[in-house]
Amino acid sequence: MPTRYDVIVVGAGPAGGTAARYAARRGLKVLLVDKRKEIGVPVQCGEYVAQNDEVRAIFPTVSDLEDLMAVPYRVREVDTPVIRIWSPAGRRYDIPFRGFTVRRDKMDQGIAAQAEAEGAEVATETTVLRVHGEEVETNHGVLHARVMIGSDGPRSTVAKSVGLEWPVSAPAMSATAEGDFGTATDMFFGNLAPGGYAWIIPKAGCANVGLGTWEHFRGNLRALFDKFTADHELEPGKATGGFVPVQGPPPRTVAGNAMLVGDAAGMVMATNGGGNNVAMIAGRIAGNTAADHLLDGTPLDAYEARWRSAVGGPLAQGVRIKHLADRFFGSDRLLELSMVLLGRRRMARAIRCQPLFVRGSASII
């Protein structure tokens, strides 16, 4: 393996694979590295993707989604036209929202294959230990990159190396349960998952089941997960745990010759936990910005303005809604009342990270 590259992308999730794909498309010498033996394994995700028409409604300036989202559509499993939100007392609110489920391992592998087809190199079982300027220290020796793209999760080694903040994140756990689960995505709120929610997301012949909490949680996540699955008579396979950003992106995602994208940059919608679509949108921006920087001299800081212009507004709105909701999450009784007062229409706006209250031309919360 050569040691010198135009761009090294750390982490072959949807953000990193997409960044590598679009940087390589522009003719750059790109290396995509991942610490795992098999890309996408184990799965640590709800495996849910919003359909393109929903993405356009939430992020209206984002274009050419057909090219960007080709692999997720290729590996789609179950179309889910409705999100069912369940209150602590068992009230159900049906929210029309068009999405579909995927095999996340196959999705990640497919995006990495796209990057290879565009000319990128892919190296697995490669752990980045430290980044210093253009030097990238790995378990296989030192590599060199003119631009670094960190897509290595919320506890990003790239971010730590270049002095960027980690996003605030919270623990989550998920597994696969066999069975027929229909076509609705279920989200359960209350103290069964303090500060977060539990989910049952249908797939082909099975479901992704799990739960996530808030960043202050210090209890036994496994006990919550086991109780939730037992209460719903589920028999999940081996569970995997991790951390999910819950408070939006940190103040900066660019430092020196490095950019952060995806979970490393906190690019998760705080009201629904969705990150796959945003990760790929920002990954494309990161890859193209790296090319603009190296080929045309565009400042790398342009990435900051570009991704915030494309997806930053709804992400920030989602954080504002979550801050409001956090006031009620400590009590099932208060949460129940707040959900009754909000009603289905405002919950639909919350799921889409849109203002809950609109007065004239002004948006409030």
Q: Give the pair of three-digit tokens for residue 318.
A: 């989602």
- Indicate the domain borders of the chain: 4-321
CATH 3.50.50.60 correct for 4-321: yes
CB count, 10 Å around CB of 1?
12
- pLDDT tens over the chain, length 365 residues: 678 999 999 999 999 999 999 999 999 999 999 999 999 999 888 899 999 999 999 999 999 999 999 999 999 999 999 999 999 999 999 999 999 999 999 999 999 999 999 999 999 999 999 999 999 999 999 999 999 999 999 999 999 999 999 999 999 999 999 999 999 999 999 999 998 999 999 999 999 999 999 888 888 999 999 999 999 999 999 999 999 999 999 999 999 999 999 999 999 999 988 999 999 999 999 999 999 999 999 999 999 999 999 999 999 999 999 998 888 888 999 999 999 999 999 999 999 999 988 665 455 56
Residue with tokens 């253009």: 134
Give CA torsion, residues 37, 112, 73, 104, to 10 deg: 20
3-state secondary structure of 341: helix
Q: Nearest to residue 118, comparing CAs of 226, 19, 219?
A: 19
- DSSP H helices, the chain, are 14-25, 52-58, 65-68, 70-74, 104-117, 157-162, 221-231, 276-296, 302-307, 313-326, 332-351
Helix H or strand E segment including 150: strand 141-150
Q: Nearest to residue 181, comparing CAs of 276, 87, 277, 47?
A: 47
The whole-model pTM stands at 0.95
